[in-house]
């Protein structure tokens, strides 16, 4: 899933300043699960905006509603007419949702209410961890399911650096050293040999460094060769 | 002979090598660094120049190396993979060698969050192992990482670092072996305060005969004060300082002299360990004591080889 966190209220209030009719649009998928941008959070934020405007003696009308996914045109269509009635839409989707809205309805002013963090999962109630950077060339088969690109602070491919101590990363005692985890797992599986081989430099052109990526599947396209 | 540097000659002659370290300043005024270089002249075989150490912006290691060469001192240019991608790293190797640099040390570098530009984007395009291998291939195969050919051959003496005090412990010997395969001719270790652990590591190194394939220089840092020891113990990544050492300093009347004594004793013990080919003395912000340490450790005069 995509994980995100609400932006600080002051930043949100500041970006909403020029607008009077505001929609706070929640998203019912990832950001609902990570408790940042679902219907509940949209309502809370709408209330906070109203209170702040009242304090500042500024007029406002805020509505909070949610669609299942902001990253799909069909689902945006369900609220398209309603959205047209607002000066601005504060989207509580991830950055993808915000951009999908803008691409689908360029006439809208859409503002991001969240800071999108990562691709990860909920480790426990209230804790979401990052697990994939979408590098485009997965190496999890080499490391037996622990991603060194994402979880090692230096994205190393050839084992733990000299800062690894007591299983923790040099960047902080609350961060596991990914390579220590990989080492222990490979050892348990009798596959430590993998770490003896020199892994060649990664081809980052398959990652974002090769520019924004588009997947085209001719076999499933409706109108191919458009 | 890979590049015929003074360091390489000393190591190949089988004599106990001594390298020193100079930390570039946070300014383009390197007069103090030059003085420290003068102080250590004739006491060390080569000078490591750190590369934006602990991720703090400083005069570049290659720039400082140029100044040392003009002074007739031999630099070991440190290069980390934190701040430059493979294009810049390979280009800088060519630039350094063109200027007369013969020794290059490849390392990961401390994470950028430790420095004075914590908001920086860490590069880490390649890792230190891949850097070493890339430089070896440039030298031995005449090829860049991307497969393109060099237009003319170059020679360089390549080194790497090892930290016997990092974890997992057993892996640290595997990693050394890997660095040798990647192209390291010499190794400088993290500062040694825990001699017992270092000795255990060296045992494993000897078991695999690795000491015969690479020159291991033990890292030694004289401790200036109790505060400095505590700071290193608690805040410097990759360093372990045993409590006995802290206690010894605490009990000493003259802390500085005790710090020097500890460093000298460490060197004397390192000389006795089979497979240790030299020492790397890191006395950053206390450079003036290096001649004293080298002399009292019985390593002066340095060999004159040409
Ligand atoms: S290797 Fe790449 S694709 Fe695989 S988990 Fe890591 S970042 Fe994601
Ligand atoms: S300590 Fe471990 S996780 Fe952290 S940068 Fe080094 S190898 Fe990567």
Which tens digit of pLDDT belongs to each residue from A139-148?
Answer: 999 999 999 9
Q: How far apart are CA A67 and CA B228, in angstroms?
A: 58
The answer to whether the CB of B104 falls within 8 A of the CB of B156 is: yes
* Cβ burial A50-78 (10 Å sphere, 16+ → b, else e): eebbeeeeeebebebebbebbbeeebbee
Distance between A186 CA and the closest CA of chain B, angstroms: 12
Phi/psi for B157 (5° steps) reads -100, 120
Q: Tell whether B236 is within 8 A of chain A (Cβ).
A: no
Long-range CB contacts (< 8 A, 24+ apart) of B245-254? Answer: B245/B193, B249/B223, B249/B225, B250/B226
CB count within 10 Å of CB B210 equals: 19
Residue B235: its pLDDT value, please?
83
What is the rounded average pLDDT of the residues A1-5? 98
Residue B291: exposure state from Cβ atoms within 10 A (0-12, 13-18, ≥19) = middle
pLDDT at B276: 98
Token pair listed for B177: 């072996």
Is residue B178 within 8 angstroms of chain A, CB to CB?
Answer: yes
What 3-state class would DSSP assign to A139? coil
User: Cβ of A189 under 8 Å from any chain B Cβ?
Assistant: no
CA of residue B211 relative to chain centroid, distance: 17
Ligand nearest to the CA of A156: 2
Question: Is B232 contained in some domain?
Answer: yes
A210 lines ligand 1 (CB under 6 A): no
Q: Which pLDDT value is given to residue B94?
A: 98
Task: State whether residue B147 sits within 8 Å of chain A by CB.
Answer: no
Looking at beta carbons, which residues of chain B come within 8 Å of A175? none
Q: What is the pLDDT of residue B306?
A: 73
Ligand 2 interacting residues, C-beta cut-off 6 A: A 152-154, 156, 160-161, 163-164, 169-170, 177-179
- Look at residue A91 and give its three-state secondary structure: strand
* Token pair 């360990």: residue: B273
SS3 of B193, please? coil
Query: How many Cα neighbours within 13 Å face the side chain of B154?
Result: 27
Interior angle at CA B111, CA A141 and CA A160, nearest 5: 35
| Pair of tokens at residue A62 | 């805020």
Task: Please check whether residue B169 touches A, CB under 8 A.
Answer: no
Average pLDDT, chain A: 96
| B190 → closest Cβ in A162, A166, A192 | A162
Q: Per-residue DSSP letters for A43-80?
A: HHHHHHHHHHHHHTT---EEEEEEES-TT-HHHHHTTH
Considering the domain A2-118 in this protein, what is its CATH number?
Answer: 3.40.50.2300
Q: What angle do CA B24, B82, B215 make, to 5 degrees?
A: 70
Q: Is B52 helix (H, G, I), strand (E, B) or coil?
A: coil
- Cβ within 8 Å of residue A117, ≥6 positions away: A2, A3, A4, A5, A128, A130
All residue ranges of chain B with pLDDT < 50 are none
CB B274 within 8 A of CB B13: no
Residue A93, pLDDT above cutoff 80:
yes
What pLDDT does residue B79 have?
A: 98
What is the mean predicted confidence (pLDDT) over A11-21?
Answer: 98
Tally the domains of chain B.
1
Q: Per-residue pLDDT for A3 more than 50?
A: yes
Count of CB contacts below 8 A, A vs B?
Answer: 99
Among B106, B129, B141, which would you mutate to test the A interface (most chain A Cβ atoms within 10 Å of its Cβ)? B129
Cα gap A212→A203, rounded to integer Å: 15
Quote the crossing angle between the two packed helices B61-70 and B31-40, to the nearest 10°: 60
Whether residue A161 and residue B129 make contact (CB cut-off 8 A), yes or no, is no
What is the interface pTM, i.e. ipTM, of the complex? Answer: 0.95
Count the alpha carbons within 13 Å of B141 in the hemisphere toward its beta carbon.
Answer: 13
| Domain assignment of residue B16, given as a range | 6-296
Q: Provide the 8-state DSSP code for B291.
A: H
Mean per-residue pLDDT, A37-51: 98
Pick A162's closest partner by Cβ from B113, B130, B163. Answer: B163
Q: Of A54, A48, A133, whose CA–CA distance to A92 is shortest?
A: A48
Q: Which chain B residues touch A201 with a CB distance below 8 Å?
A: 86, 125-126, 130, 134, 145
Contact B9, B305 (CB under 8 A): yes
Identify the pLDDT of residue A7.
98
**Rounded to whole angstroms, how far apart are CA atoms A205 and A22?**
41
Spell out the residues 6+ positions from residue B153 whose beta carbon is closer than 8 angstroms to its own.
B139, B142
How far apart are alpha carbons B58 and B51 in whole angstroms? 8
Residues 6 or more apart whose Cβ sits within 8 Å of residue A205: none
Tell me what pLDDT residue A140 has: 98
Residue nearest to atom 2 of ligand 2 (CA): A177
Q: Does A204 touch chain B (CB under 8 A)?
A: yes
pTM: 0.96
pLDDT of residue A226: 46
Handedness of CA B149, B150, B154, B155 (dihedral sign): negative
Q: Is A177 helix (H, G, I), strand (E, B) or coil?
A: coil
Q: Which of B9, B18, B16 is nearest to B283 (CA)?
A: B18
The ligand whose atoms approach the alpha carbon of A148 most closely is 1
- Rounded Cα gap, residues B135 and A183, in angstroms: 27
Stated as kind and residue range, the H or E segment containing B228 is helix B226-235
d(C-alpha B58, C-alpha B63), whole Å: 10
Whether B104 contacts B74, CB under 8 Å = no
Domain of residue B80, CATH code: 3.20.20.220
Domain boundaries, chain A: 2-118, 133-198
Q: Dump pLDDT digits (tens) for B231-267.
A: 998 888 788 899 999 999 999 999 999 999 999 999 9
- B305 lies in some domain: no
Backbone angles phi, psi at B162, to 5 degrees: -140, 145
CB A122 within 8 A of CB A105: no
SS3 B211: helix
Q: Are strands B215-220 and B276-281 parallel, antiparallel or unpaired?
A: parallel
Residue B304 belongs to a domain: no
pLDDT of residue A176: 98
Contact list, B171 vs chain A (CB under 8 Å): 159-160, 183, 195
Q: What is the pLDDT of residue B283?
A: 96
Specify the pLDDT at position B17. Answer: 98
* B113-128 as b/e: b if 16+ CB within 10 A: ebbeeeeeebbbbbbb
Is the pLDDT assigned to residue A198 strictly greater than 50?
Answer: yes
């Amino acid at each position: 899933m995509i994980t995100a966190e609400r932006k600080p209220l002051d930043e949100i209030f500041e970006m909403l300043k020029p607008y009077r009719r505001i929609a706070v649009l929640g998203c019912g998928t990832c950001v609902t699960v990570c408790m940042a941008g679902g219907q509940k959070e949209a309502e809370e934020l709408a209330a906070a905006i109203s209170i702040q405007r009242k304090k500042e003696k500024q007029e406002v009308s805020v509505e909070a509603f949610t669609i299942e996914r902001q990253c799909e045109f069909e689902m945006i269509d369900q609220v398209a007419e309603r959205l047209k009635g607002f000066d601005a839409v504060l989207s509580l989707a991830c950055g993808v949702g915000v951009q999908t809205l803008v691409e689908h309805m360029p006439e809208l002013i859409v503002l991001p209410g969240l800071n999108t963090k990562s691709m990860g999962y909920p480790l426990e109630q209230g804790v979401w961890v990052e697990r994939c950077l979408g590098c485009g060339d997965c190496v999890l088969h080499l490391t037996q399911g622990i991603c060194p690109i994402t979880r090692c602070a230096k994205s190393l491919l050839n084992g733990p650096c000299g800062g690894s101590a007591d299983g923790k990363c040099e960047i902080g005692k609350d961060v596991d050293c990914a390579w220590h985890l990989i080492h222990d797992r490979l050892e348990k599986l009798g596959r430590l040999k993998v770490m003896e081989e020199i892994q060649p430099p990664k081809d980052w052109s398959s990652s974002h460094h090769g520019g924004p990526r588009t997947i085209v599947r001719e076999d499933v396209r409706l109108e191919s060769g458009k | 002979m890979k590049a015929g540097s003074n360091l390489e000659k000393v190591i190949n002659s089988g004599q106990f090598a001594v390298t020193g370290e100079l930390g570039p300043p946070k300014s383009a005024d390197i007069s103090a660094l030059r003085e420290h270089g003068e102080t250590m002249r004739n006491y060390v075989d080569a000078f490591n120049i750190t590369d934006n150490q602990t991720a703090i912006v400083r005069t570049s290691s290659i720039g400082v190396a140029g100044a040392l060469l003009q002074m007739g001192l031999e630099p070991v240019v440190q290069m980390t993979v934190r701040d430059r991608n493979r294009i810049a790293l390979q280009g800088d190797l060519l630039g350094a060698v063109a200027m007369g640099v013969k020794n290059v040390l490849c390392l990961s570098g401390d994470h950028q969050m430790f420095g004075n530009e914590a908001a920086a984007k860490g590069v880490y395009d390649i890792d230190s192992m891949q850097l070493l291998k890339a430089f070896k291939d440039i030298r031995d195969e005449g090829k860049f990482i991307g497969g393109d050919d060099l237009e003319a051959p170059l020679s360089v003496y390549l080194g790497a670092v090892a930290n016997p005090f990092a974890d997992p412990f057993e892996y640290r010997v595997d990693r050394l072996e890997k660095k040798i395969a990647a192209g390291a001719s010499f190794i400088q270790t993290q500062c040694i305060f825990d001699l017992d652990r270092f000795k255990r590591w060296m045992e494993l190194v000897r078991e695999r005969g690795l000491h015969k394939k690479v020159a291991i220089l033990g890292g030694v840092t004289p401790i200036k004060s109790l505060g400095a020891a505590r700071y290193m113990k608690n805040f410097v990544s990759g360093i372990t300082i045993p409590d006995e050492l802290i206690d010894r300093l605490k009990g000493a009347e003259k802390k500085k002299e005790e710090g020097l004594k500890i460093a000298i004793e460490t060197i004397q013990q390192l000389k006795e360990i089979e497979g240790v080919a030299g020492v790397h003395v890191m006395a950053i912000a206390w450079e003036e004591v290096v001649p004293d340490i080298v002399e009292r450790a019985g390593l002066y005069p340095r060999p004159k080889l040409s």
